Each structure stands twice: as structure tokens, then as C-alpha cells.
Amino acid sequence: MKKGARWYSMEMAAMVTHTGGNIIKDSRTLIEEIGLPLELDTDGIWTCLPKGFPEEFSFKLKNGKKVPLSFPCTMCNLLIYDKYGNKQYQTLVDKKSLSYEKRLEMSVFFEIDGPYKCMFIPASKEENKMLKKRYAVFTHSGKISELKGFELKRRGELQLIKIFQGEVFDKFLEGNTLQECYDACGEVADRWYDILVSKGDYVNDEELIDYIGESRMMSKSLEECGS
């Protein structure tokens, strides 16, 4: 380095996290002007857009080919390109003279998924306190597309709890009103509550043992464990 110059050390992980967080915040501000952000994550935004909002376009090129364009996705990408693009990105063009070409470069892009039928976000038990990363997203066919923050996929839970939660999730889309949805989920809860209160009185022994059992995997065979 030249005399008098200084060396700098930057924590890249912190820089990337900070920049990513700002991109999500700015994108949320943009989306709030046209729709409703439902859930923010480190790498995306779940959003409810008006039904008539423009979505897909395509450009026809001179060679006859068509280039598809997602309007909401392009809006977000244009925002981050203008604000967060690297204006001094350099590419080596001549190895002998070590000359570089400088240009604006941006390698972070939004991609759009959906549309989905609905998104279930549970309410917090405490006032003014939000639940982070806990939601269920359903496709138009009624199947769960993404699930975060619930016990359904975790190990160490009783089989009874896993089955109960799976059945409740399947009932979320039943009915045309909120009350009808609650009633459908309540029927599932009542049935499993009766099994607990009656201590499985009207369930056969084999089924009951399956309900109150846990799935455990042994790292070694029974013979290797010894006595």
C-alpha cells in the first residue's frame, strides 16, 4: 500500500445482515402503499395484495420470443437496485495493464411465490407483543405449503399431539366465516379432549399406546448397547 494509507477490517456477516434488514424494511414501506405486509422474515415478505393488482406481464421481443415479468417482484427489485446497488463494482478487462471496468452491480433479487389461498397467523397471548416466525400458509387446493413455529414437525412430542395439530390445520379452511372455522376446529378439540378425560376408554389398547408413544431413534443397535 502507499505510504500513509490505512488498513480496514470489516465484519462481512454484520454488513450483510444489516443490508438485508434494510432491504426488507424499505420493501415493506413500498408494499404498504399498495397492500398489506403480513409477516416479515430475514429473506422475504408475506404480503396480501388487492385482487385486481397487476401481476404478470410479458414483453414480445423482435425475434418473437416472450420475456415474462412479475410486476410486484420488479417493483421491489428496482427499489433495491437503485438504493443498494454497488456503484463501484470492478471487472478486470486487461490482465497486462491491470485495467478494470467499473459498473453498477446488484446481485440481490426478489422472487415471487404464490398466490396462495390464505395465511394463518396466531395472535399473541400478551398485549403489544408479536409472535415471530409462526404461521401456516395454504394453497388453493387446501394443502399446507409452508409451516413455521408450530410443534407439528418437532421431535419429542407425543403422537397424540402431532395428530391433533395436523387435524386442526386441516380444518382451518372449512367454513365461510371465522365462526364456522372455529366451530370446525372446536369439533376436533372436543373429540381429543374426550379421549384425554376418559383416559382412552373408548379407544382400543393398540391405538391408545400409539397415541401416547414417542418416536425415538437409537444411534446404536440394541446389541451394541450391552446391558
Q: pLDDT tens digits, residue range 85-131?
A: 989 999 999 999 999 999 999 888 888 888 898 888 887 777 777 77
8 Å CB contact between 147 and 129: no
Average pLDDT for the chain: 83
101 and 127 both lie in a single domain: no
44 and 83 both lie in a single domain: yes
Q: pLDDT tens digits, residue range 152-206?
A: 555 556 778 878 888 888 887 887 888 888 898 899 989 888 888 888 787 777 7
37 and 70 both lie in a single domain: yes
Domain hosting 152: range is 118-211
Residue 26: pLDDT band (50, 70, 90) is very high
Distance CA 60, CA 85 (A): 28
Residue 149: pLDDT band (50, 70, 90) is confident
Is 138 part of any domain?
A: yes
129 and 75 both lie in a single domain: no
163 and 85 both lie in a single domain: no
How many domains does the chain contain in total? 2
Of 105, 137, 165, the residue that ends a domain is: 105
52 and 80 both lie in a single domain: yes
Give the pLDDT of residue 1.
Answer: 44
Is 144 part of any domain?
A: yes
Is 25 part of any domain?
A: yes
Whole-prediction pTM value?
0.64
pLDDT at 52 over 50: yes
Give the pLDDT of residue 15.
Answer: 83
E strands along the chain, which residues?
Answer: 36-41, 44-48, 56-60, 66-70, 86-94, 99-105, 118-120, 135-138, 144-148
pLDDT at 19 over 80: yes
122 and 96 both lie in a single domain: no
Closest by alpha carbon to 38, among 126, 135, 129? 135
156 and 86 both lie in a single domain: no
93 and 130 both lie in a single domain: no
126 and 201 both lie in a single domain: yes
Give the pLDDT of residue 157.
Answer: 67
**Longest pairwise C-alpha distance within the chain:** 87
Of 105, 126, 158, the residue that ends a domain is: 105
